[in-house]
Amino acid sequence: MNSTGTERLLNVVDVEATCWPGSPPPGAVGEIIEIGLTVVDLATAERIGRHRILVRPARSEVSDFCTELTGLTQDQVDGGVPFGEACRLLAAEHRAGSRPWASWGDYDRHQFTRQCGATRTPYPFGRHHTNAKAVFTGVYGLRKRPGMAQALAITGLPLEGRHHRGEDDAWNIAALVLHLAARDGWPAQ
């Protein structure tokens, strides 16, 4: 650990994106509408920050299906910031470029990569990403990678808040990260 202690901090990220029960409507694409971020202090085994950034989609709208799944409405995300501004906030306020980060699976990382490329927005994260779902699967010796809610049930941890809400899912994934760290299963950053 360096003298500032920053290596002990981990950003746990979960995004929600526009979605539909089938294919997107013509011209629409899946876009991030919420970024949930929980800061984990691995040294003290605590969740020390809980954040939410609402993002205004530019090329799609929130469908009824998406609202039912996430609880987010078009009116809510219309009050959000543009995607580029959300990425700047991640870098400036949450040290996303230098702090290691984790997500449940690779969807979130890939969604940022796709959307940054499509909008010519600088990718806000550094290279140190951990797929928490893969770590969990390995620690528990499972054949299939479980969803976050299933992993919480396996560990006996409660699902706090609303599933498929970025802020709440990041908080719950952070609890799983701390659970894995307590079992000496979380990789060194």
Domains and CATH numbers, the chain: 6-182 (3.30.420.10)
How confident is the model over 134-160, as pLDDT tens digits? Answer: 999 999 999 999 999 999 999 999 999
Please say if the pLDDT value at position 102 is more than 60: yes
70-79 pLDDT, tens digit per residue, is 999 999 999 9
| pTM for this entry | 0.94
Task: Give the model's pLDDT for residue 6.
Answer: 46
Backbone angles phi, psi at 113, to 5 degrees: -60, -50
CA atoms within 13 A on the CB side of 12: 28
Report the chain's mean pLDDT, rounded to a whole number: 95
In whole angstroms, give the CA distance from residue 50 to residue 52.
7
What are the backbone angles phi and psi of residue 82, rounded to the nearest 5°? -60, 155
- Which uninterrupted H or E stretch holds 60? none
Position 188 scores a pLDDT of: 87
pLDDT tens digit string along 40-92?
Answer: 999 999 999 999 999 999 999 999 999 999 999 999 999 999 999 999 999 99
Percent of the chain with pLDDT over 70: 96
pLDDT at 2: 39
Q: Give the pLDDT score at 7.
A: 65
Burial class (CB in 10 A: 0-12, 13-18, 19+), 91: middle
Confidence check: pLDDT of 4 > 80: no
Determine contact, residues 189/7, Cβ cutoff 8 Å.
yes
Nearest of 155, 158, 166, 48 to residue 104 by alpha carbon = 166
Q: How far is CA 4 from CA 9, 10, 160, 161, in A?
A: 11, 14, 31, 33
